[in-house]
Amino acid sequence: MTELNDTHDPKLRSWVASANQAGCDFPIQNLPFGRFSHSADAAPRIGVAIGDRILDLRRAGLIDSDDMNALMAATPEKRAALRALISQGLAEGSARQAEWESALVSQSAATMHVPCRIGDYTDFYTSVHHATTVGKQFRPDNPLLPNYKWVPIGYHGRASSIGVSGQRFKRPQGQTKAPDAAVPSFGPSKRLDYELELGWFVGQGNAQGEPVGIGAAESHLFGVTLFNDWSARDIQGWEYQPLGPFLSKNFASTLSPWLVTTEALAPFRAAFERPADDPRPLPYLDSEANRAQGAFSIELEVLLQTAKMREAGEVPVRLSKTNSTRAAYWTPAQLIAHHTVNGCNLQPGDLLGSGTLSGPEAVEAGSLMELTNGGKQPIVLPNGEQRSFLEDGDTLVMHGWCERAGAVRIGLGEVSGTVLAAG
């Protein structure tokens, strides 16, 4: 597990002035990686966010290739060395300032891309509160299935439809079946929802047939993004038995553009805790280090802006807020260990979704399905509009950040997406 070093020093400041502003998502203590270009059709380049700028790593002479997946496959030692070089070069008083100023690009002038090539995508179900609340809507007497507290539940999703923040997608169509209908019908989803998630990215892979032990799992983890796994609840309700989600999930998912590394998250580690009467994980999912600091404390919030609000110049309104330590029942290291225990080979750039992150209180719900009790109790927005599920023209925005006494606040940036009418 990453230890604190000079790159985390709260006294460290950058010669990029915007990185020193209070509340900045990308101070010098963060240094997240992303892919950007000067136009949508230009080849993506690897950059690091610093304040409101992007440092072009190849122009700065730090890398010789813009293959993000190759960078992610580097050993933890090489990644730590690159982080140290970037930090030293961007620090106040650095001799690199004159050289690197020409390698800076304004974030507002850049086109952001999906952070890397995503070969495979697995979505987990790590929030026991989400699983329980949703389970109550279908199984009031037995909301949580018996395997939940023993095994990290997951399914394999679709990587090709994952887009970057700003994604606009058409409302999905498919089969649905009303409870009182004799046969299913076809048409646009009427119960379109969002899911507040974190996206954990694999760095180094493992050979097929070679499981990654819990003690080594984090060395295979590169970093995290915000992740919105859009869901068509009515399509899902009809199709998910017996094999799970399919068309209800694979039409669109949206990532924030910046990969915040596990190194940057080091000051915000937290204990992995469960209720005393819950079962202890099986040995391959358990270690002293994981119990002591295997979790990461990340604040998360969800906001909504309707088309009517946008036309009136009104800013998005918050729907919910939670913290990842309150929501997640499994740690990222446990996801890696479980995913590979059967010999499955992970590869650089593979994405592990956390599943909907909902805290224990109703106001911490990570989906409309929970906030509205399955659509039965619509939420009323400040302008008088109501929402049971998402409507055409709605823009959903998610933010994430880490803050703790004695450490500099860092952010995950923003992920937004807009629903368009069915095509």
Q: What is the pLDDT, as a whole number, of residue 423?
A: 85
**Catalytic residue selected from 8, 113, 129, 130:** 130
Q: What is the pLDDT, as a whole number, of residue 2?
A: 73
Contact 324, 297 (CB under 8 A): yes
Q: What is the pLDDT, as a whole number, of residue 187?
A: 98
Give the pLDDT mean for 250-263.
98
Structural domains in the chain, sorted by start = 6-113 (2.30.30.230), 121-420 (3.90.850.10)
Q: What is the pLDDT, as a whole number, of residue 141?
A: 82
Distance CA 266, CA 250 (A): 33
Can you give the length of the chain in residues?
Answer: 423
Q: What is the pLDDT of residues 371-415, one digit of tens each?
A: 999 999 999 999 999 999 999 999 999 999 999 999 999 999 999
Q: What is the pLDDT, as a whole number, of residue 143?
A: 87
Q: How wide is the angle at C-alpha 262 spanned by C-alphas 47 and 282, nearest 5°? A: 145
CA distances from 375 to 43, 123, 185, 251, 305 (A): 43, 24, 20, 22, 19
Instruction: Identify whether 338 is a catalytic site residue.
Output: no
Distance CA 286, CA 280 (A): 8
- The alpha carbon torsion through 94, 6, 225, 209 (nearest 10 deg) reads 120
**Residues facing 164 on adjacent strands:** 255
CA distances from 338 to 151, 236, 237, 245, 333 (A): 8, 25, 27, 20, 9
Q: How wide is the angle at C-alpha 358 spanned by C-alphas 378 and 407, nearest 5°? A: 130
Q: What is the pLDDT of residues 145-199, one digit of tens each?
A: 899 999 999 999 999 999 999 999 999 999 999 999 999 999 999 999 999 999 9
Give the pLDDT mean for 355-360.
97
SS3 34: strand
Q: State both tokens at 395.
A: 């823009």
Residues with Cβ within 8 Å of residue 179, at least 6 apart in sequence: none
pLDDT at 1 over 80: no
Q: What is the pLDDT, as a whole number, of residue 140?
A: 83
Give the pLDDT mean for 79-96.
98
Q: Could you tell me the sign of the dihedral formed by the alpha carbons of 126, 130, 135, 138, in that order?
A: negative
Q: What is the pLDDT, as a whole number, of residue 142?
A: 82
Q: What is the pLDDT of residues 30-47, one digit of tens each?
A: 999 999 998 767 899 999
Work out the percent of the chain whose per-residue pLDDT is above 70.
100
pLDDT at 248 over 80: yes
Q: What is the pLDDT of residues 273-326, one digit of tens each?
A: 999 999 999 999 999 999 999 999 999 999 999 999 999 999 999 999 999 999
Contact 127, 133 (CB under 8 A): no
Q: What is the pLDDT, as a whole number, of residue 412?
A: 98
Q: What is the pLDDT, as a whole number, of residue 55?
A: 98
Q: What is the pLDDT, as a whole number, of residue 39?
A: 77
Q: What is the pLDDT of residues 111-137, one digit of tens each?
A: 999 999 999 999 999 999 999 998 888
